[in-house]
């Protein structure tokens, strides 16, 4: 496959110090997507890892030619890594997962089938999360506050397992922390979003890079920014008038 070849689906994943997880991630993608007889690519964005993740991905790309490795020059965070993936993806449909294998990329084809005239984005909902009790309580509180202030009813905005039509995010300017609000941002662009339960697994290797306490204040400030954007979004209708009394929308 060359850069000019059409691609149906791009699987996009940010990776930061996930050297033990990227091999099972790529092998799972190969197992699921190779038999589908559709063109696909995996766009894995290394967020300046220090544990050999980038080198492992390059090694895997020798075996899997559909694997594309994007490398950030310095550690820039999850939103930046997602944005880099979007900008390099060539697929008509984008599917996103984390590289830690707590999401199953094998669910992406199921979510893809839900896209259609009335559905532009499918948001995964980790209805039965494999987390400890404290993390579950923290997440429930965070989702409640997020929905209350943003005027949304999304159960799990922060779930990375999502599927989009390309146009939902193409050309969208992102800011730090905005990966938590993709369903809201997509709705603000006029697209239709649904939410469906997806599986969630315990982390098999490595440790989480996102600590709840250290990001509460940043997440709250980001939430206020999204709330402001929704309230200040331009909403109007305009028609072109003609001397004969006619008009055109």
pLDDT digits (tens, 9 = 90+) for 105-149: 999 999 999 999 999 999 999 877 655 454 544 555 555 555 555
- CA 165 from centroid of its chain's CA atoms: 12
Structure tokens at 172: 């969208």
Q: Which residue has the higher pLDDT, 199 or 53?
A: 53
Q: Which residue has the higher pLDDT, 162 or 145?
A: 162
Q: Which domain holds residue 212?
A: 7-248
Secondary element (H or E) of residue 134 = helix 133-150
Average pLDDT over all residues of the chain: 85
Looking at the predicted structure, is the pLDDT value of residue 11 above 90?
A: yes
The answer to whether position 133 is within a domain reads yes
Q: Please give the average per-residue pLDDT across 60-81, as a whole number.
A: 96
CB-neighbour burial class of residue 227 (10 A; exposed 0-12, middle 13-18, buried 19+): middle
> What is the domain count for the chain?
1
Residue 95 φ/ψ, nearest 5 degrees: -120, 135
The answer to whether position 2 is within a domain reads no
What percent of the chain is predicted at pLDDT more than 70?
80
pLDDT digits (tens, 9 = 90+) for 12-30: 999 999 999 999 999 999 9
The answer to whether position 80 is within a domain reads yes
The answer to whether position 43 is within a domain reads yes
Asked whether 29 and 11 are in contact (CB, 8 A), the reply is: yes
The answer to whether position 173 is within a domain reads yes
Secondary element (H or E) of residue 151 = none
Asked whether 20 and 205 are in contact (CB, 8 A), the reply is: yes
Tell me the CB-side half-sphere exposure of residue 207, using CA atoms within 13 A.
3
The answer to whether position 104 is within a domain reads yes
Looking at the predicted structure, is the pLDDT value of residue 32 above 90?
A: yes
CATH code at position 46: 3.90.550.10
pLDDT at 132: 47
Looking at the predicted structure, is the pLDDT value of residue 154 above 60?
A: yes
The answer to whether position 141 is within a domain reads yes
pLDDT digits (tens, 9 = 90+) for 177-224: 888 889 989 998 999 999 999 988 777 776 665 554 445 566 667 777
The answer to whether position 1 is within a domain reads no
Least confident range of 66-80, 108-122, 128-142, 161-175: 128-142
Q: Please give the average per-residue pLDDT across 158-174, as a whole number.
A: 93
């Amino acid at each position: 496959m060359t850069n000019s070849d059409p691609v149906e689906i791009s699987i996009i994943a940010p990776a930061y110090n996930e050297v033990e997880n990227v091999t099972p991630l790529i092998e799972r993608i190969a197992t699921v997507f190779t038999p589908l007889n559709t063109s696909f690519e995996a766009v894995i964005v290394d967020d300046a890892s220090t544990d050999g993740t980038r080198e492992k991905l390059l090694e895997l790309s020798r075996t899997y030619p559909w694997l594309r490795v994007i490398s950030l020059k310095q550690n820039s965070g999850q939103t930046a890594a997602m944005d880099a993936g979007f900008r390099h993806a060539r697929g008509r449909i984008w599917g996103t997962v984390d590289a830690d294998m707590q999401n199953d990329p094998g669910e992406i084809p199921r979510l893809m089938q839900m896209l259609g005239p009335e559905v532009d984005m499918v948001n995964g909902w980790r209805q039965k999360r494999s987390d400890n009790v404290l993390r579950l309580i923290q997440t429930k509180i965070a989702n409640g506050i997020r929905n209350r202030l943003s005027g949304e009813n999304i159960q799990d905005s922060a779930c990375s397992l999502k599927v989009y039509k390309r146009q939902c995010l193409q050309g969208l300017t992102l800011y730090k922390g905005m990966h938590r609000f993709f369903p809201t941002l997509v709705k603000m662009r006029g697209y239709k979003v649904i939410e469906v339960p997806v599986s969630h697994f315990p982390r098999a290797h490595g440790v989480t890079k996102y600590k709840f306490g250290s990001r509460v204040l940043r997440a709250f400030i980001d939430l206020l920014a999204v709330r402001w954007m929704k309230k200040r979004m331009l909403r109007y209708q305009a028609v072109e008038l003609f001397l004969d009394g006619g008009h055109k929308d």
